[in-house]
Protein backbone atom coordinates (compact mmCIF):
# COMPACT_ATOMS: atom_id res chain seq x y z
CA UNK A 1 0.00 0.00 0.00
CA UNK A 2 2.83 2.42 0.73
CA UNK A 3 3.80 2.24 -2.93
CA UNK A 4 0.60 4.20 -3.65
CA UNK A 5 1.71 7.20 -1.56
CA UNK A 6 3.48 9.11 -4.38
CA UNK A 7 0.50 8.55 -6.69
CA UNK A 8 -1.99 9.72 -4.05
CA UNK A 9 0.10 12.80 -3.28
CA UNK A 10 0.36 13.67 -6.96
CA UNK A 11 -3.38 13.22 -7.52
CA UNK A 12 -4.29 15.40 -4.53
CA UNK A 13 -1.96 18.16 -5.69
CA UNK A 14 -3.26 17.87 -9.24
CA UNK A 15 -6.88 18.06 -8.12
CA UNK A 16 -6.49 21.13 -5.92
CA UNK A 17 -4.60 23.10 -8.57
CA UNK A 18 -7.24 22.27 -11.19
CA UNK A 19 -10.05 23.30 -8.83
CA UNK A 20 -8.55 26.69 -7.93
CA UNK A 21 -9.08 28.58 -11.24
CA UNK A 22 -12.59 27.20 -11.66
CA UNK A 23 -13.51 28.41 -8.17
CA UNK A 24 -12.15 31.88 -9.00
CA UNK A 25 -14.05 31.95 -12.30
CA UNK A 26 -17.22 30.90 -10.47
CA UNK A 27 -17.22 34.29 -8.72
CA UNK A 28 -17.73 35.92 -12.12
CA UNK A 29 -14.15 37.13 -12.30
CA UNK A 30 -12.86 38.61 -15.55
CA UNK A 31 -9.33 39.98 -15.94
CA UNK A 32 -9.20 43.76 -16.30
CA UNK A 33 -6.92 44.42 -19.26
CA UNK A 34 -5.11 42.60 -22.08
CA UNK A 35 -7.02 39.32 -21.78
CA UNK A 36 -10.11 41.32 -22.73
CA UNK A 37 -8.55 42.81 -25.84
CA UNK A 38 -7.06 39.47 -26.96
CA UNK A 39 -10.48 37.82 -26.62
CA UNK A 40 -12.21 40.65 -28.47
CA UNK A 41 -9.54 40.65 -31.20
CA UNK A 42 -10.23 36.96 -31.88
CA UNK A 43 -13.93 37.76 -32.34
CA UNK A 44 -13.53 40.99 -34.31
CA UNK A 45 -12.09 39.69 -37.61
CA UNK A 46 -10.25 43.02 -37.87
CA UNK A 47 -6.68 44.18 -38.05
CA UNK A 48 -5.41 46.51 -35.36
CA UNK A 49 -5.40 49.39 -37.83
CA UNK A 50 -9.17 48.95 -38.07
CA UNK A 51 -9.51 49.06 -34.29
CA UNK A 52 -7.05 51.77 -33.28
CA UNK A 53 -6.02 55.11 -34.72
CA UNK A 54 -2.37 54.13 -35.20
CA UNK A 55 0.90 55.56 -36.40
CA UNK A 56 1.77 54.93 -40.02
CA UNK A 57 3.78 51.75 -40.65
CA UNK A 58 2.75 50.24 -37.33
CA UNK A 59 2.66 46.44 -37.33
CA UNK A 60 1.32 44.26 -34.56
CA UNK A 61 3.13 40.95 -34.27
CA UNK A 62 3.95 40.92 -30.55
CA UNK A 63 1.27 38.41 -29.54
CA UNK A 64 0.42 36.99 -32.94
CA UNK A 65 0.72 33.41 -31.68
CA UNK A 66 -1.60 33.93 -28.73
CA UNK A 67 -4.13 35.70 -30.96
CA UNK A 68 -3.94 32.73 -33.36
CA UNK A 69 -4.54 30.27 -30.52
CA UNK A 70 -7.59 32.20 -29.32
CA UNK A 71 -8.83 32.49 -32.88
CA UNK A 72 -8.60 28.70 -33.26
CA UNK A 73 -10.45 28.15 -29.97
CA UNK A 74 -13.13 30.57 -31.12
CA UNK A 75 -13.65 28.70 -34.38
CA UNK A 76 -13.43 25.18 -32.98
CA UNK A 77 -15.44 25.68 -29.78
CA UNK A 78 -17.66 28.55 -30.85
CA UNK A 79 -16.64 30.60 -27.80
CA UNK A 80 -17.64 34.22 -27.54
CA UNK A 81 -15.41 36.81 -25.94
CA UNK A 82 -16.48 35.81 -22.42
CA UNK A 83 -15.64 32.17 -23.09
CA UNK A 84 -12.27 33.12 -24.56
CA UNK A 85 -11.46 35.24 -21.51
CA UNK A 86 -12.31 32.30 -19.23
CA UNK A 87 -10.22 29.98 -21.41
CA UNK A 88 -7.29 32.39 -21.14
CA UNK A 89 -7.48 32.63 -17.36
CA UNK A 90 -7.92 28.91 -16.68
CA UNK A 91 -5.52 27.50 -19.27
CA UNK A 92 -2.62 29.83 -18.46
CA UNK A 93 -2.98 29.45 -14.70
CA UNK A 94 -2.97 25.68 -15.08
CA UNK A 95 0.01 25.80 -17.44
CA UNK A 96 2.15 27.57 -14.85
CA UNK A 97 0.93 25.71 -11.79
CA UNK A 98 0.67 22.17 -13.16
CA UNK A 99 3.99 21.84 -14.97
CA UNK A 100 6.15 21.58 -11.82
CA UNK A 101 4.03 18.68 -10.53
CA UNK A 102 5.40 16.52 -13.35
CA UNK A 103 9.03 17.33 -12.50
CA UNK A 104 9.21 17.82 -8.71
CA UNK A 105 10.21 14.85 -6.54
CA UNK A 106 7.80 16.05 -3.86
CA UNK A 107 4.68 17.71 -5.35
CA UNK A 108 3.76 18.91 -1.87
CA UNK A 109 6.87 21.11 -1.96
CA UNK A 110 5.38 22.90 -4.96
CA UNK A 111 2.08 23.41 -3.10
CA UNK A 112 4.04 24.83 -0.17
CA UNK A 113 5.95 27.16 -2.52
CA UNK A 114 2.74 28.50 -4.04
CA UNK A 115 1.24 28.95 -0.58
CA UNK A 116 4.29 30.84 0.67
CA UNK A 117 4.21 33.21 -2.31
CA UNK A 118 0.45 33.66 -2.04
CA UNK A 119 0.90 34.91 1.52
CA UNK A 120 4.09 36.90 0.93
CA UNK A 121 3.26 38.37 -2.50
CA UNK A 122 -0.47 38.05 -3.30
CA UNK A 123 0.03 40.31 -6.31
CA UNK A 124 1.86 37.52 -8.10
CA UNK A 125 -1.05 35.13 -7.69
CA UNK A 126 -3.33 37.81 -9.12
CA UNK A 127 -0.99 38.12 -12.13
CA UNK A 128 -1.35 34.40 -12.73
CA UNK A 129 -5.08 35.00 -13.26
CA UNK A 130 -4.75 37.83 -15.77
CA UNK A 131 -4.93 35.46 -18.75
CA UNK A 132 -2.03 37.06 -20.63
CA UNK A 133 0.65 35.28 -22.70
CA UNK A 134 3.55 36.34 -20.47
CA UNK A 135 2.41 33.42 -18.28
CA UNK A 136 3.55 31.08 -21.08
CA UNK A 137 7.06 32.51 -20.77
CA UNK A 138 6.95 32.22 -16.97
CA UNK A 139 5.96 28.55 -17.23
CA UNK A 140 8.68 27.84 -19.77
CA UNK A 141 11.19 29.46 -17.44
CA UNK A 142 10.31 26.86 -14.79
CA UNK A 143 10.90 24.06 -17.31
CA UNK A 144 14.27 25.55 -18.26
CA UNK A 145 15.42 25.35 -14.65
CA UNK A 146 14.17 21.80 -14.26
CA UNK A 147 16.33 20.87 -17.28
CA UNK A 148 19.30 22.96 -16.11
CA UNK A 149 21.27 19.95 -14.69
CA UNK A 150 20.92 18.16 -18.04
CA UNK A 151 22.47 21.11 -19.87
CA UNK A 152 25.63 20.66 -17.79
CA UNK A 153 26.23 17.10 -18.91
CA UNK A 154 29.40 16.33 -20.84
CA UNK A 155 27.49 14.82 -23.74
CA UNK A 156 25.08 17.28 -25.40
CA UNK A 157 21.50 16.35 -24.36
CA UNK A 158 20.04 16.78 -27.83
CA UNK A 159 16.49 15.79 -26.87
CA UNK A 160 16.47 18.32 -24.01
CA UNK A 161 17.92 21.04 -26.23
CA UNK A 162 15.32 20.32 -28.91
CA UNK A 163 12.53 20.54 -26.32
CA UNK A 164 13.85 23.85 -24.94
CA UNK A 165 14.20 25.25 -28.46
CA UNK A 166 10.58 24.35 -29.21
CA UNK A 167 9.36 25.90 -25.95
CA UNK A 168 11.29 29.12 -26.51
CA UNK A 169 9.89 29.25 -30.06
CA UNK A 170 6.40 28.95 -28.56
CA UNK A 171 7.15 31.77 -26.13
CA UNK A 172 8.53 34.02 -28.88
CA UNK A 173 5.54 33.33 -31.15
CA UNK A 174 2.90 33.76 -28.44
CA UNK A 175 4.48 36.39 -26.17
CA UNK A 176 7.00 38.21 -28.34
CA UNK A 177 9.75 39.18 -25.89
CA UNK A 178 12.33 36.80 -27.35
CA UNK A 179 15.24 39.07 -26.43
CA UNK A 180 14.62 38.76 -22.68
CA UNK A 181 15.81 35.16 -22.71
CA UNK A 182 19.18 36.88 -22.45
CA UNK A 183 18.41 37.17 -18.72
CA UNK A 184 18.53 33.42 -17.92
CA UNK A 185 21.54 33.12 -20.26
CA UNK A 186 23.23 35.86 -18.24
CA UNK A 187 22.48 33.99 -15.01
CA UNK A 188 24.10 30.81 -16.38
CA UNK A 189 27.33 32.61 -17.23
CA UNK A 190 27.49 34.57 -13.96
CA UNK A 191 27.16 31.24 -12.14
CA UNK A 192 30.08 29.96 -14.28
CA UNK A 193 27.86 27.35 -15.88
CA UNK A 194 29.57 27.99 -19.19
CA UNK A 195 28.62 24.73 -20.88
CA UNK A 196 24.98 25.03 -19.84
CA UNK A 197 24.94 28.72 -20.73
CA UNK A 198 26.33 28.12 -24.22
CA UNK A 199 23.85 25.37 -24.91
CA UNK A 200 21.01 27.50 -23.60
CA UNK A 201 22.07 30.39 -25.86
CA UNK A 202 21.91 28.03 -28.84
CA UNK A 203 18.38 26.96 -27.81
CA UNK A 204 17.29 30.56 -27.20
CA UNK A 205 18.69 31.80 -30.52
CA UNK A 206 17.16 29.01 -32.57
CA UNK A 207 13.87 29.23 -30.66
CA UNK A 208 13.63 32.99 -31.25
CA UNK A 209 14.26 32.54 -34.98
CA UNK A 210 11.71 29.74 -35.28
CA UNK A 211 9.13 31.78 -33.38
CA UNK A 212 9.83 34.76 -35.62
CA UNK A 213 9.37 32.72 -38.80
CA UNK A 214 6.09 31.31 -37.45
CA UNK A 215 4.66 34.85 -37.52
CA UNK A 216 5.27 35.01 -41.29
CA UNK A 217 7.17 38.29 -40.89
CA UNK A 218 10.40 37.35 -39.06
CA UNK A 219 12.33 40.59 -39.55
CA UNK A 220 9.43 42.89 -38.68
CA UNK A 221 8.54 40.71 -35.70
CA UNK A 222 12.02 40.77 -34.20
CA UNK A 223 12.46 44.47 -34.91
CA UNK A 224 9.10 45.44 -33.50
CA UNK A 225 9.67 43.52 -30.26
CA UNK A 226 12.58 45.82 -29.44
CA UNK A 227 11.26 49.03 -31.00
CA UNK A 228 7.84 48.71 -29.35
CA UNK A 229 9.37 48.18 -25.90
CA UNK A 230 11.76 51.08 -26.35
CA UNK A 231 8.91 53.27 -27.57
CA UNK A 232 6.69 52.34 -24.63
CA UNK A 233 9.40 53.25 -22.12
CA UNK A 234 10.64 56.44 -23.78
CA UNK A 235 7.26 57.89 -24.76
CA UNK A 236 6.77 59.45 -21.32
CA UNK A 237 8.82 62.07 -19.52
CA UNK A 238 8.10 60.68 -16.04
CA UNK A 239 7.32 57.22 -14.70
CA UNK A 240 3.84 58.10 -13.51
CA UNK A 241 2.78 58.53 -17.15
CA UNK A 242 3.71 54.91 -17.93
CA UNK A 243 1.49 51.89 -17.38
CA UNK A 244 2.01 50.42 -13.92
CA UNK A 245 4.02 47.35 -14.94
CA UNK A 246 6.62 49.52 -16.71
CA UNK A 247 7.14 51.58 -13.58
CA UNK A 248 9.66 50.62 -10.92
CA UNK A 249 8.51 48.48 -8.01
CA UNK A 250 8.90 48.94 -4.27
CA UNK A 251 11.26 46.05 -3.59
CA UNK A 252 8.70 43.37 -2.61
CA UNK A 253 10.02 43.31 0.95
CA UNK A 254 7.92 40.33 2.11
CA UNK A 255 9.30 38.02 -0.58
CA UNK A 256 12.86 39.08 0.24
CA UNK A 257 12.12 38.44 3.93
CA UNK A 258 10.78 34.98 3.03
CA UNK A 259 13.98 34.15 1.13
CA UNK A 260 16.15 35.37 4.02
CA UNK A 261 14.15 33.24 6.45
CA UNK A 262 14.69 30.19 4.26
CA UNK A 263 18.42 30.88 4.08
CA UNK A 264 18.48 31.17 7.87
CA UNK A 265 16.54 27.92 8.15
CA UNK A 266 19.13 26.20 5.93
CA UNK A 267 21.90 27.51 8.21
CA UNK A 268 20.09 26.28 11.34
CA UNK A 269 19.75 22.81 9.80
CA UNK A 270 23.50 22.72 9.23
CA UNK A 271 23.02 22.54 5.48
CA UNK A 272 24.60 25.82 4.47
CA UNK A 273 26.42 25.66 1.14
CA UNK A 274 27.38 28.53 -1.16
CA UNK A 275 25.78 26.59 -4.01
CA UNK A 276 22.39 27.44 -2.48
CA UNK A 277 22.77 31.01 -3.76
CA UNK A 278 25.55 30.75 -6.32
CA UNK A 279 23.50 29.11 -9.04
CA UNK A 280 21.59 30.33 -12.14
CA UNK A 281 18.19 30.20 -10.43
CA UNK A 282 19.08 32.40 -7.48
CA UNK A 283 21.13 34.73 -9.69
CA UNK A 284 18.18 35.24 -12.07
CA UNK A 285 15.91 35.94 -9.09
CA UNK A 286 18.41 38.52 -7.80
CA UNK A 287 18.87 40.03 -11.28
CA UNK A 288 15.13 40.37 -11.78
CA UNK A 289 14.80 41.98 -8.36
CA UNK A 290 17.49 44.57 -9.10
CA UNK A 291 16.08 45.35 -12.56
CA UNK A 292 12.64 45.65 -10.98
CA UNK A 293 13.72 49.11 -9.83
CA UNK A 294 13.77 50.01 -13.53
CA UNK A 295 10.54 48.23 -14.52
CA UNK A 296 8.53 45.94 -12.26
CA UNK A 297 8.02 43.33 -15.00
CA UNK A 298 11.66 42.29 -14.75
CA UNK A 299 10.76 41.05 -11.27
CA UNK A 300 7.21 39.77 -11.77
CA UNK A 301 7.85 37.93 -15.05
CA UNK A 302 11.46 36.76 -14.63
CA UNK A 303 12.79 37.25 -11.11
CA UNK A 304 9.72 36.02 -9.27
CA UNK A 305 9.34 32.71 -11.19
CA UNK A 306 13.01 32.04 -10.48
CA UNK A 307 12.43 32.85 -6.80
CA UNK A 308 9.48 30.45 -6.66
CA UNK A 309 11.57 27.72 -8.26
CA UNK A 310 14.37 28.36 -5.76
CA UNK A 311 11.88 28.11 -2.87
CA UNK A 312 10.57 24.87 -4.38
CA UNK A 313 14.08 23.40 -4.42
CA UNK A 314 14.69 24.45 -0.82
CA UNK A 315 11.41 22.98 0.41
CA UNK A 316 11.88 19.83 -1.65
CA UNK A 317 15.23 19.24 0.03
CA UNK A 318 13.89 20.02 3.52
CA UNK A 319 10.90 17.67 3.13
CA UNK A 320 13.07 14.85 1.79
CA UNK A 321 15.25 15.14 4.90
CA UNK A 322 12.31 14.67 7.26
CA UNK A 323 9.82 12.45 5.44
CA UNK A 324 10.52 9.28 3.52
CA UNK A 325 9.17 9.02 0.01
CA UNK A 326 6.69 6.24 0.89
CA UNK A 327 5.56 7.65 4.23
CA UNK A 328 1.83 8.24 4.76
CA UNK A 329 2.81 11.48 6.47
CA UNK A 330 3.20 12.89 2.97
CA UNK A 331 -0.50 12.39 2.31
CA UNK A 332 -1.46 14.25 5.49
CA UNK A 333 0.97 17.07 4.65
CA UNK A 334 -0.38 17.32 1.09
CA UNK A 335 -3.98 17.45 2.27
CA UNK A 336 -3.12 20.20 4.75
CA UNK A 337 -1.21 22.27 2.19
CA UNK A 338 -3.93 21.73 -0.42
CA UNK A 339 -6.66 23.03 1.87
CA UNK A 340 -4.57 26.03 2.92
CA UNK A 341 -3.58 26.88 -0.67
CA UNK A 342 -7.13 26.55 -1.97
CA UNK A 343 -8.53 28.83 0.73
CA UNK A 344 -5.68 31.35 0.47
CA UNK A 345 -5.94 31.75 -3.30
CA UNK A 346 -9.72 31.64 -3.69
CA UNK A 347 -10.50 33.95 -0.77
CA UNK A 348 -12.13 37.08 -2.20
CA UNK A 349 -9.80 39.34 -0.23
CA UNK A 350 -10.42 42.99 -1.06
CA UNK A 351 -12.97 41.88 -3.68
CA UNK A 352 -10.10 40.85 -5.94
CA UNK A 353 -12.25 38.21 -7.67
CA UNK A 354 -15.58 40.08 -7.65
CA UNK A 355 -14.61 43.72 -8.24
CA UNK A 356 -15.82 43.53 -11.85
CA UNK A 357 -19.36 42.38 -11.01
CA UNK A 358 -20.57 45.97 -10.58
CA UNK A 359 -18.90 47.21 -13.78
CA UNK A 360 -21.29 48.83 -16.26
CA UNK A 361 -20.20 48.38 -19.86
CA UNK A 362 -21.02 50.58 -22.83
CA UNK A 363 -22.71 48.01 -25.07
CA UNK A 364 -23.81 48.75 -28.59
CA UNK A 365 -27.04 46.76 -28.33
CA UNK A 366 -28.47 48.63 -25.35
CA UNK A 367 -31.12 51.18 -26.41
CA UNK A 368 -30.03 53.76 -23.82
CA UNK A 369 -26.72 54.10 -25.66
CA UNK A 370 -28.14 54.12 -29.20
CA UNK A 371 -27.64 57.85 -29.76
CA UNK A 372 -24.55 58.28 -27.64
CA UNK A 373 -22.06 55.68 -28.77
CA UNK A 374 -19.98 56.60 -31.85
CA UNK A 375 -21.56 56.37 -35.26
CA UNK A 376 -20.03 54.26 -38.08
CA UNK A 377 -16.54 55.48 -38.89
CA UNK A 378 -16.34 57.36 -35.59
CA UNK A 379 -13.51 57.58 -33.09
CA UNK A 380 -13.63 57.25 -29.31
CA UNK A 381 -11.38 59.84 -27.70
CA UNK A 382 -10.37 59.03 -24.14
CA UNK A 383 -7.38 59.19 -21.80
CA UNK A 384 -8.33 55.92 -20.06
CA UNK A 385 -7.00 52.54 -21.28
CA UNK A 386 -9.52 50.70 -19.12
CA UNK A 387 -12.30 52.25 -21.19
CA UNK A 388 -10.72 50.76 -24.32
CA UNK A 389 -10.39 47.29 -22.79
CA UNK A 390 -13.96 47.18 -21.52
CA UNK A 391 -15.64 48.78 -24.51
CA UNK A 392 -13.73 46.81 -27.13
CA UNK A 393 -14.41 43.61 -25.16
CA UNK A 394 -18.16 44.18 -25.26
CA UNK A 395 -18.21 45.57 -28.82
CA UNK A 396 -15.57 43.66 -30.81
CA UNK A 397 -17.29 44.25 -34.17
CA UNK A 398 -18.34 47.86 -33.56
CA UNK A 399 -17.76 50.20 -36.54
CA UNK A 400 -15.58 52.69 -34.69
CA UNK A 401 -11.94 53.07 -33.65
CA UNK A 402 -10.13 54.11 -30.46
CA UNK A 403 -7.66 56.96 -30.16
CA UNK A 404 -6.01 55.20 -27.18
CA UNK A 405 -5.73 51.43 -27.01
CA UNK A 406 -3.48 49.11 -25.06
CA UNK A 407 -0.23 50.95 -25.81
CA UNK A 408 0.06 54.73 -26.03
CA UNK A 409 3.27 54.59 -28.13
CA UNK A 410 1.16 53.30 -31.06
CA UNK A 411 -0.76 56.58 -31.23
CA UNK A 412 -0.24 59.23 -33.87
CA UNK A 413 2.51 61.58 -32.61
CA UNK A 414 0.16 64.55 -32.34
CA UNK A 415 -2.39 62.51 -30.38
CA UNK A 416 0.28 61.12 -28.09
CA UNK A 417 1.44 64.66 -27.35
CA UNK A 418 -2.13 65.63 -26.43
CA UNK A 419 -2.50 62.56 -24.21
CA UNK A 420 0.76 63.29 -22.37
CA UNK A 421 -0.37 66.87 -21.74
CA UNK A 422 -3.69 65.59 -20.37
CA UNK A 423 -1.86 63.15 -18.08
CA UNK A 424 0.75 65.72 -17.07
CA UNK A 425 -2.02 68.12 -16.02
CA UNK A 426 -4.05 65.41 -14.25
CA UNK A 427 -6.95 65.59 -16.72
CA UNK A 428 -7.64 69.31 -16.59
CA UNK A 429 -10.46 70.26 -19.04
CA UNK A 430 -8.27 72.68 -21.00
CA UNK A 431 -5.94 69.85 -22.03
CA UNK A 432 -8.74 68.13 -23.97
CA UNK A 433 -9.40 71.13 -26.25
CA UNK A 434 -7.14 69.89 -29.12
CA UNK A 435 -9.12 66.66 -29.30
CA UNK A 436 -12.45 68.49 -29.14
CA UNK A 437 -11.29 70.67 -32.02
CA UNK A 438 -10.63 67.52 -34.11
CA UNK A 439 -13.93 65.81 -33.31
CA UNK A 440 -16.57 65.14 -35.95
CA UNK A 441 -20.26 64.48 -35.49
CA UNK A 442 -19.68 60.68 -35.43
CA UNK A 443 -16.91 60.90 -32.79
CA UNK A 444 -17.23 60.79 -29.00
CA UNK A 445 -15.15 61.93 -26.05
CA UNK A 446 -15.66 59.48 -23.17
CA UNK A 447 -14.29 60.33 -19.74
CA UNK A 448 -14.23 58.70 -16.33
CA UNK A 449 -15.70 61.23 -13.90
CA UNK A 450 -17.90 61.14 -10.83
CA UNK A 451 -21.65 61.44 -11.40
CA UNK A 452 -21.62 64.89 -9.81
CA UNK A 453 -18.55 66.05 -11.76
CA UNK A 454 -19.85 66.70 -15.26
CA UNK A 455 -16.86 67.52 -17.49
CA UNK A 456 -16.39 71.27 -17.87
CA UNK A 457 -15.31 71.04 -21.49
CA UNK A 458 -17.10 73.57 -23.74
CA UNK A 459 -18.33 72.73 -27.20
CA UNK A 460 -19.80 69.35 -26.28
CA UNK A 461 -23.07 68.07 -24.88
CA UNK A 462 -22.79 65.41 -22.20
CA UNK A 463 -24.62 62.26 -21.14
CA UNK A 464 -23.98 60.31 -17.94
CA UNK A 465 -23.96 56.84 -19.48
CA UNK A 466 -22.67 54.43 -16.83
CA UNK A 467 -21.01 54.43 -13.43
CA UNK A 468 -18.55 57.33 -13.42
CA UNK A 469 -18.66 57.49 -17.22
CA UNK A 470 -19.58 60.56 -19.27
CA UNK A 471 -20.02 60.63 -23.05
CA UNK A 472 -19.54 63.90 -24.89
CA UNK A 473 -20.50 64.70 -28.50
CA UNK A 474 -20.82 67.71 -30.72
CA UNK A 475 -24.21 69.44 -30.36
CA UNK A 476 -26.87 68.10 -32.71
CA UNK A 477 -28.51 71.44 -33.59
364 with 38: CB under 8 angstroms? no
pLDDT-above-70 percentage for the chain: 96
| Concatenated DSSP letters of 135-185 | HHHHHHHHHHHHHHHHHTSSS--HHHHHHHHHHHHHHHHHT--GGGGHHHH
pLDDT computed for residue 57 by the predictor: 63
pLDDT computed for residue 62 by the predictor: 67
- 474: which DSSP letter? -
Longest dimension (CA), the chain: 84
Q: For residue 225, name the pLDDT band (cuts at 50, 70, 90).
A: confident
For residue 207, pLDDT beyond 70? yes
The CA distance from 43 to 88, in Å, is: 14
pLDDT computed for residue 374 by the predictor: 97
Chain segment 77-117, per-residue pLDDT in tens: 999 999 999 999 999 999 999 999 999 999 999 999 999 99
* Entry pTM: 0.94
Cβ neighbours of residue 177 closer than 8 Å, sequence gap 6 or more: 134, 137, 171, 225, 229
Chain segment 236-280, per-residue pLDDT in tens: 667 777 777 778 988 999 999 999 999 999 999 999 999 999 999
Q: For residue 232, name the pLDDT band (cuts at 50, 70, 90).
A: low
pLDDT-above-90 percentage for the chain: 82
**Which CA distances in Å does 459 have to 209, 403, 420, 433?**
52, 19, 22, 9
For residue 168, pLDDT beyond 80? yes
Q: For residue 187, name the pLDDT band (cuts at 50, 70, 90).
A: very high
Residue 24: which of 338, 348, 337, 357 has the closest Cα?
348
Amino acid sequence: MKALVPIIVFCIALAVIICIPFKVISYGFLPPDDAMRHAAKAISDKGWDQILVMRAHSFMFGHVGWDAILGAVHKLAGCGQDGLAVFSVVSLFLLFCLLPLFFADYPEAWLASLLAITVAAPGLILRLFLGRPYIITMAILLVIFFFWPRLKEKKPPLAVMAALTALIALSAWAHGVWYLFALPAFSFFVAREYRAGTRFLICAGLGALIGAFLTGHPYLFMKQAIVETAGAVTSASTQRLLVGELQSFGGDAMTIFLILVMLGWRKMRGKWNIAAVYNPVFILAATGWVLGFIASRFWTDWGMPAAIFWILCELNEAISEKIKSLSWRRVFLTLTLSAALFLAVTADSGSRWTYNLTTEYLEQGKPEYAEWLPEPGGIIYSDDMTLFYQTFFKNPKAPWRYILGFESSLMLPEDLAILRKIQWNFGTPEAFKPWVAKMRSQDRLILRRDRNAKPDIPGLEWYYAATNTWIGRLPRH
